[in-house]
């Protein structure tokens, strides 16, 4: 694995404004080695460069040319929001360019920015679906139209492009559109013609970023107006569109998971910039409700395929887990904003779990194929027609929201890992590279998550002034050891943070050792779907069984023996190099019940510990599943 | 409960043709007392009479007038198949009229038949959606258009109307439409312009009935053509539309459950009339695959909300069980045809289970409200927006397929209960009333399913000729007792049939006693959704807990104690009079896990038998759920 030394951290998302009321301020990390460096290299080498060709073949770029009058034909694509595939790709490419010059990619970006600019209408409006298919009937179907959702992704791309390149070509487009929206939308009595919100939140967080980038307060106010107009029946009052109850009064996450999460990210952005304590409290309340009752073990969110809904508390199915990849991206974005707002470590816990599991499973190891939904189980013999909501990886989707969302998060990942404040540096996530904050630089060497040792070396430090190096001790970690300048450091972590305060010198070394014994995890008994089951975890990784590793039979008859040890096995040959966990199991013999699978309870024989054939179970990290031949998969394993 | 003596059994569906190759021939039963008599009385008194008003207010009748040029306005309704609501209601009303004269209902039927006839186009075509909305672009969207599906329900209504009233007003309409279809559809080389099938099977079983009613062989041939053209990619090859594989080659039920079941009913009808052994074998194979791996305990079918799909084998979720009421109706229709085809008792087992549980839950006790989907669990605090696919009863649906489907099955129920053959009479289902076959009449007195005693008295019998009274011994029944003319009769049942062969005299009495001890039922361990759970059953009834009977707390923390006896309690005051089952349980105390519900498996305390507060559990029949205030419901109860 090549080790390169990064230059100064590149610019990224969530660049707080000067008046922000954040507990922590984000600070980027140079990721130069290890697990995430490799994933980002694939993103940079395979995923992002393929974008223009995929957007061309799916028709997205054609639509832009059509709207500019520069091409002939029909609108292509099945959804009113296909423009966002372009915008999210532009954002990903911009973050990519922020890290390293790439003339070929820069040319592609410039070309596609040109297509976007040419498609914009003179008054700033831009949406190819409404321009080409809906005869320009703007803002008349806010529930389904996605016009402001599209604007939001355009704005995010423009902010990224400006931060990354300094160029204003796309920012000018976004500002014109934002000004147009600001001239149209407003509360009754404001003199603006439309009092409304978009069925799919997203523009709110984008407008706060535009405020951050331009200093123009109107965009912040407009974001605040939108956030507070949900829940008042402007969209018919449905939870699906986040319109059942105002966010400030909500007690649980509900409705379409991605819509809910983008709205919450926007609300957290507002709270960060305005200090709105009620919005902060709502965010804390809803985050806790979500993690305690509506989050899959993988960090996946959204239980229902139908309406992409969060579902009820503790309703966490396995094979029908929806867990959209976009929801994982949105969850990371929201939790990061909450971490900055509150300074609390638990947001980093969810970010870690999500990144390593529910998010990363969304892209194949080779960067060529994608999962839109991320189930926790695929049954033996599962037949699957493929397509958007399939449990089989797909080259691209009709609704291609997820792939460029993965690209943009991977390309900007270094901005979700660490923060600084007056006390010093906080490390939320452990990667190989260089963490920096005001006057501070710390080099990190680690093979995490395969190995639990994180070696941190102070490279730059203010002289003669103490500061605190805060290390997040993961929620999954039952204990840990830390040595500071060679000496054991014996202090407990407090609410997830281990605080090392001292006057540091260059060369000082801190070694954190997190225990990576594989473990069996059980669920709250109210999670009906996994009663009598355990999952295998190791560090931040959730493991699963895959058919490919068990050629002698299916997975649906396997029972785990929890009394036998879990054995770690390094497998550099497997799935790009993973650590597997080998467990002991048995293959349950199910008697033939004839045509009816329900029997008197007293007729059920619970096999003893010697029942069934022994079988060695090989568990692989969940993120790496579905990279071999099709077959069954299980995260949760029955005990009897 | 009033006891009335029916006249001769009324005509009904599946009147086999003269050349049919059935093992058994259907014979109607006069249902005069007891459980089903009461449900049918509600159907006759409340459900069916309300039809015209509901069809008027939903716009269905307006559409017919519009198509006839007799009204002005727009097409109303959200689906291309809204005409079928009218047709299914007409079928229900016709079966109703077949049993008892009702001048008011007869007038309504005549009026609505007139609307249907007036809407028909000169060449026989009839579909208000295509006539009014699609500018008459016929048969160009067979995948979604539902034109032949609508024709099928029209034909079934017409056959029922003709059988019930002798009038040909509607039959003439159906024949004209069928002749039109026969002139359009046919295989390549037939000279017919369209080689195709409908995305939603239904016309196949209807055309066989039209053949039975008219003797016109062309309709049987057309049904055969349609059945065999599924699975050849004419609809794009999707399982959803039953187009992935030809039925003759299929090894499992798949795709949209109602589509699959109507297609299978049509195939069974064909096998009945033609003796097609391959279609019969396919039906037997698929029925077994369905019951063994894809049927909920209630008889409910269709695991997925999404695409209304059967789902994978053993994928039988509880709160997200789809179990559409229409699928229960279609399942009864198919199983009945399979029973006639094979003579086997197990089809009656599934019919019984479905009727008493998954089907009957579809209509409220008062006949005023409906369930489209029939889940097996509703969590504490479940919020539900109502509507078509809600776990709360609704007055009518945007897609109102289920209510008139319930009406037509209840109104013709007496035709699914008994059969005759050369050996004598077979009783598939036990009701209070009078069973007849060729020269045979048997009176039945029973309070089944509340009481297990069925008292059968021979009223008419051929003199001096033995015949066999065959009694289905339910699959759930572990033993039974029977007395024949006062003497114990000690013979085993063979494959579900107890065969009593003798020379009978009028007044001979047979008393069958089925054991109705409540029982705990467990599932095949591959049914992941109910691992570690049992269900309470009694006779053919599946029981559930409802919040209304447990005011001291929710249902999600309840654990059943299987070591304590189940106690039967008559509750004439409850839910129209039910037998409840009282069980012992405990209320699980779940420690506060903070924000993350997953814990190390060794930290899970399995409470001992004395853990948690004792609570008395009152289980009510599943069919009666959701007739009180909204609240939780559970069929499957955890044991720990």
> Is B291 within 8 Å of A604 when comparing Cβ atoms?
no
DSSP A120: S
Q: Is the CB of residue B533 less than 8 Å away from at least one CB of chain A?
A: yes
Taking CA–CA distances from B519, the nearest residue in chain A reads A600
Pairing of the two strands A481-484 and A509-513: antiparallel
Q: Is the CB of residue B304 less than 8 Å away from at least one CB of chain A?
A: yes
Residues of B in contact with A523 (CB under 8 A): 597-599
A399 as an active site residue: the answer is no
**What range does the domain containing A423 cover?**
419-513
Residues of B in contact with A598 (CB under 8 A): 297, 521-524, 535
> Is B590 within 8 Å of A525 when comparing Cβ atoms?
yes
Q: What is the pLDDT of residue B447?
A: 98
Preceding amide of B160 cis, omega within 30: no
Catalytic residues of B: 308, 401
Nearest to B292 among A239, A597, A638 (CB): A597
Q: Is the pLDDT of residue B321 over 60?
A: yes
SS3 of A439-483: the string is CEEEEEEECCCCCCEEEEEEEECCCCCCEEEEEECCCCCCCCEEE
Within this chain, do residues A498 and A530 fall inside the same structural domain, yes or no?
Answer: no
Query: Is A142 inside any structural domain?
Result: no
Q: What is the pLDDT of residue A607?
A: 62
Q: A107 is written with which tokens?
A: 């040319």
Nearest to A599 among B385, B521, B556 (CB): B521
**Which residue from B301, B335, B330 is spatially nearest to B316, judged by alpha carbons?**
B301
Q: How far apart are CA A17 and CA A19, in angstroms?
A: 6
Most A CBs within 10 A among B601, B602, B606, B630, hence the mutation to make, goes to B601
> Is A521 within 8 Å of B293 when comparing Cβ atoms?
no
Query: Is A219 inside any structural domain?
Result: no
> Is A601 within 8 Å of B382 when comparing Cβ atoms?
no
Q: How far apart are CA B554 and CA B379, in angstroms?
A: 9
Q: Is the CB of residue A588 less than 8 Å away from at least one CB of chain B?
A: yes
Within this chain, do residues B252 and B344 fall inside the same structural domain, yes or no?
Answer: yes
Q: Is the CB of residue B562 less than 8 Å away from at least one CB of chain A?
A: yes
Query: Is B169 inside any structural domain?
Result: yes
CB within 8 A of B44, min separation 6: which ones?
B96, B99, B100, B411
Residues of B in contact with A382 (CB under 8 A): 312
Nearest to A238 among B239, B385, B590 (CB): B385
Tens digit of each residue's pLDDT (9 = 90 or more) over B534-591: 999 999 999 999 999 999 999 999 999 999 999 999 999 999 999 999 999 999 887 8
Residues of B in contact with A320 (CB under 8 A): 304, 315, 317, 320
Taking CA–CA distances from B320, the nearest residue in chain A reads A304
> Is B601 within 8 Å of A519 when comparing Cβ atoms?
yes
Position B482 confidence tier, pLDDT thresholds 50, 70, 90: very high
> Is B381 within 8 Å of A313 when comparing Cβ atoms?
yes
Q: Is the CB of residue B526 less than 8 Å away from at least one CB of chain A?
A: yes
How many domains is chain A built from?
Answer: 3
> Is residue B481 within 8 Å of residue B494, measured between CB atoms?
no
Q: How far apart are CA A223 and CA A206, in angstroms?
A: 8
Most B CBs within 10 A among A302, A535, A598, hence the mutation to make, goes to A598
Nearest to B532 among A377, A531, A590 (CB): A531
Within this chain, do residues B256 and B403 fall inside the same structural domain, yes or no?
Answer: yes
> Is B288 within 8 Å of A595 when comparing Cβ atoms?
yes
Query: Is A403 inside any structural domain?
Result: no
Q: A27 is written with which tokens?
A: 């600070």
CB pairs under 8 A between A and B: 164
> Is A293 within 8 Å of B597 when comparing Cβ atoms?
yes
- Output the pTM of the full model: 0.95
**Nearest-CA distance from B490 to chain A in Å?**
25
Within this chain, do residues B342 and B394 fall inside the same structural domain, yes or no?
Answer: yes
Taking CA–CA distances from B303, the nearest residue in chain A reads A320
Dihedral pair phi/psi, residue A424, rounded to 5°: 145, -135
> Is residue A637 within 8 Å of residue A559, measured between CB atoms?
yes
Q: How far apart are CA B222 and CA B513, in angstroms?
A: 47
CB within 8 A of B183, min separation 6: which ones?
B192
**Which residue from A404, A414, A411 is spatially nearest to A44, judged by alpha carbons?**
A411
Within this chain, do residues B383 and B465 fall inside the same structural domain, yes or no?
Answer: no
Number of other CB atoms surrounding residue B480 within 10 Å: 17
Taking CA–CA distances from B378, the nearest residue in chain A reads A312
Query: Is A2 inside any structural domain?
Result: no
More confident call, A522 vs B609: A522
- Cα–Cα distances (Å) from A278 to A234, A347, A470, A502, B230, in that order, read 22, 19, 28, 36, 59
**Which residue from B338, B383, B410 is spatially nearest to B93, judged by alpha carbons?**
B410
Q: How far apart are CA A206 and CA A249, in angstroms?
A: 23
Q: Is the pLDDT of residue B611 over 90?
A: no
Q: What is the pLDDT of residue A3?
A: 31
A401 as an active site residue: the answer is yes
Within this chain, do residues A490 and A469 fall inside the same structural domain, yes or no?
Answer: yes
Query: Is A286 inside any structural domain?
Result: yes
> Is B601 within 8 Å of A534 when comparing Cβ atoms?
yes
Q: Is the pLDDT of residue B157 over 90?
A: yes
Which own/partner pairs from B458-465 qualify as long-range (CB within 8 Å, at least 24 positions apart)?
B458/B504, B458/B505, B458/B506, B458/B507, B458/B508, B458/B509, B458/B510, B459/B434, B459/B506, B460/B436, B460/B506, B461/B504, B461/B505, B461/B506, B461/B508, B464/B503, B465/B503
Domain boundary among B464, B481, B513: B513
Q: How far apart are CA B430 and CA B479, in angstroms?
A: 17
Pairing of the two strands B481-484 and B509-513: antiparallel
> Is B522 within 8 Å of A478 when comparing Cβ atoms?
no
Place of tokens 């007055």: B395
> Is residue A562 within 8 Å of residue A336, measured between CB atoms?
no
Q: Is the CB of residue B638 less than 8 Å away from at least one CB of chain A?
A: yes
Kindly give the residue spans of alpha helices, DSSP state H, lying in A354-466: 402-411
**Which residue from B455, B415, B419, B454 is spatially nearest to B440, judged by alpha carbons?**
B419
Tens digit of each residue's pLDDT (9 = 90 or more) over B402-418: 999 999 999 999 999 99
> Is B597 within 8 Å of A317 when comparing Cβ atoms?
no
Query: Is B344 inside any structural domain?
Result: yes
CATH number of the domain bearing residue A436: 2.60.40
Intervals of chain A under pLDDT 70:
1-10, 605-610
CATH number of the domain bearing residue B275: 1.50.10.10
Domain boundary among B381, B400, B416: B416
Most B CBs within 10 A among A525, A535, A537, A637, hence the mutation to make, goes to A525
Within this chain, do residues B343 and B458 fall inside the same structural domain, yes or no?
Answer: no
Nearest to B599 among A292, A522, A598 (CB): A522
> Is residue B585 within 8 Å of residue B616, measured between CB atoms?
yes
Q: What is the pLDDT of residue A112?
A: 98
**Nearest-CA distance from B240 to chain A in Å?**
10
Tens digit of each residue's pLDDT (9 = 90 or more) over B8-55: 456 899 999 999 999 999 998 999 999 999 999 999 999 999 999 999
- CA angle at residue B29 from B27 to B31, to 5 degrees? 165
Choose the catalytic residue: A147, A209, A308, A344: A308
Nearest to B528 among A318, A519, A526 (CB): A318
Within this chain, do residues B338 and B197 fall inside the same structural domain, yes or no?
Answer: yes
Within this chain, do residues B379 and B501 fall inside the same structural domain, yes or no?
Answer: no
Q: How far apart are CA B228 and CA B264, in angstroms?
A: 11
Within this chain, do residues A509 and A539 fall inside the same structural domain, yes or no?
Answer: no
SS3 of B343-406: the string is CCCHHHHHHHHHHHHHHHHHECCCCCCECCCCCCEECCCCCCCCCCCCCCCECCCCCCCHHHHH
Place of tokens 């269905």: B60
Taking CA–CA distances from A636, the nearest residue in chain B reads B528
Strand order in the sheet with A418-421: A25-26, A418-421, A424-427, A467-472, A497-502
Residues of A in contact with B306 (CB under 8 A): 305-306, 389
> Is B525 within 8 Å of A319 when comparing Cβ atoms?
no
Domain boundary among B513, B547, B571: B513
Within this chain, do residues B472 and B569 fall inside the same structural domain, yes or no?
Answer: no
**Nearest-CA distance from B492 to chain A in Å?**
19
Q: Tell me the residue ranges of DSSP E strands in B485-546.
A: 487-488, 497-502, 509-513, 519-523, 533-538, 541-546
**Nearest-CA distance from B380 to chain A in Å?**
9
Q: Is the CB of residue A285 less than 8 Å away from at least one CB of chain B?
A: no
CB crowding A16-38: b at 16 or more within 10 Å, else e = bbeebbbebbbbbbbbbbbbbbb
Q: Is the CB of residue A589 less than 8 Å away from at least one CB of chain B?
A: no
Taken in order B305, B307, B310, B311, the sign of the CA dihedral is negative
> Is B532 within 8 Å of A534 when comparing Cβ atoms?
no
Q: What is the pLDDT of residue B610?
A: 66
Position B471 confidence tier, pLDDT thresholds 50, 70, 90: very high
Q: What is the pLDDT of residue B385?
A: 76
- Cα–Cα distances (Å) from B481 to A189, B429, B430, B560, in that order, read 81, 17, 15, 31
Place of tokens 């998954």: B358
Helix axes of A103-119 and A147-165: crossing angle, nearest 10 degrees: 140
Q: Is the pLDDT of residue B432 over 50?
A: yes
Q: B124 is written with which tokens?
A: 């026989």
Tens digit of each residue's pLDDT (9 = 90 or more) over B339-397: 999 999 999 999 999 999 999 999 999 999 999 999 999 999 998 877 888 999 999 99
> Is A239 within 8 Å of B385 when comparing Cβ atoms?
yes
Choose the catalytic residue: A150, A241, A323, A401: A401
Q: Helices (H) and strands (E) in chain B — how many of each?
A: 16, 23
Query: Is A230 inside any structural domain?
Result: no
Within this chain, do residues B375 and B509 fall inside the same structural domain, yes or no?
Answer: no
């Amino acid at each position: 694995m090549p080790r390169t030394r990064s230059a100064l951290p590149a610019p990224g998302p969530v660049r707080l404004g000067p008046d922000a009321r954040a507990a922590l301020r984000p600070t980027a990390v140079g990721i130069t080695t290890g697990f995430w460096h490799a994933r980002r290299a694939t993103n940079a080498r395979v995923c992002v460069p393929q974008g223009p060709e995929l957007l061309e073949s799916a028709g997205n770029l054609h639509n832009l040319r059509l709207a500019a009058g520069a091409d002939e034909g029909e609108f292509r694509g099945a959804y009113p929001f296909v423009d966002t595939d372009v915008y999210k790709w532009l954002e990903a490419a911009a973050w990519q360019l922020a890290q390293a010059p790439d003339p070929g990619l820069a040319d592609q970006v410039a070309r596609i920015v040109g297509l976007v600019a040419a498609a914009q209408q003179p008054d700033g409006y831009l949406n190819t679906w409404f321009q080409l298919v809906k005869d320009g009937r703007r803002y008349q179907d806010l529930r389904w139209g996605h016009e402001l959702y599209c604007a939001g992704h355009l704005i995010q791309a423009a902010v990224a492009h400006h931060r990354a390149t300094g160029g204003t070509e796309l920012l000018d487009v976004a500002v014109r559109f934002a000004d147009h929206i600001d001239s149209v939308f407003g509360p009754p009595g404001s003199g603006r013609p439309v009092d409304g919100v978009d069925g799919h939140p997203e523009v709110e967080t984008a407008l706060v970023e535009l405020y951050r980038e331009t200093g123009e307060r109107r965009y912040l106010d407009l974001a605040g107006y939108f956030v507070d107009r949900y829940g008042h029946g402007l969209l018919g009052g449905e939870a699906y569109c986040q319109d059942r109850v105002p966010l400030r009064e909500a007690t649980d996450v509900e409705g379409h998971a991605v819509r809910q999460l983008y709205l919450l990210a926007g609300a957290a952005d507002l709270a960060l910039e305005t200090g709105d304590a009620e919005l902060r409290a709502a965010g804390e309340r809803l985050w806790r409700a979500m993690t305690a009752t509506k989050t899959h073990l993988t960090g996946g969110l959204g239980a229902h395929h139908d309406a992409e809904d969060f579902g009820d508390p503790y309703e966490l199915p396995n094979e029908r887990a929806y867990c959209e990849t976009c929801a994982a991206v949105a969850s990371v974005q929201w939790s990061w904003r909450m971490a900055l707002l509150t300074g609390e470590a638990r947001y980093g816990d969810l970010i870690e779990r999500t990144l390593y599991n529910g998010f990363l499973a969304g892209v194949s190891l080779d960067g060529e194929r994608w999962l839109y939904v991320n189930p926790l189980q695929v049954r033996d013999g599962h037949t699957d027609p493929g397509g958007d909501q399939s449990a089989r990886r797909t080259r691209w989707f009709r609704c291609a929201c997820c792939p460029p969302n993965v690209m943009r998060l991977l390309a900007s990942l270094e901005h979700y890992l660490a923060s600084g404040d007056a006390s010093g540096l906080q490390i939320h996530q452990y990667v190989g590279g260089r963490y920096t904050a005001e006057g501070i630089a710390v080099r990190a060497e680690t093979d995490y998550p395969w190995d639990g040792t994180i070696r941190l070396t102070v490279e730059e430090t203010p002289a003669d002034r103490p500061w605190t190096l805060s290390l997040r001790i993961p929620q999954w970690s039952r204990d840990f050891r830390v040595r500071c300048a060679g000496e054991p450091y014996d202090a407990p972590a407090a609410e997830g943070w281990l605080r090392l305060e001292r006057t540091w010198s260059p060369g000082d070394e801190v070694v954190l050792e997190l225990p990576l014994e594989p473990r069996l995890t059980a669920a709250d008994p109210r999670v009906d779907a996994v009663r009598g089951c355990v999952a295998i975890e190791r560090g931040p990784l959730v493991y699963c069984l895959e058919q490919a590793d068990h050629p002698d039979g299916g997975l649906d008859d396997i029972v785990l023996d929890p009394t036998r040890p879990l054995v770690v096995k390094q497998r550099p040959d497997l799935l790009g190099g993973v650590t597997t966990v080998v467990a002991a199991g048995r293959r349950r013999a199910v008697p033939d019940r004839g045509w009816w699978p329900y029997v008197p309870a007293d007729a059920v024989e619970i096999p003893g510990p010697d029942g069934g054939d022994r079988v060695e179970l090989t568990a692989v990290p969940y993120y790496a599943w579905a990279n071999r031949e099709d077959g069954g998969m299980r995260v949760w394993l029955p005990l009897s």
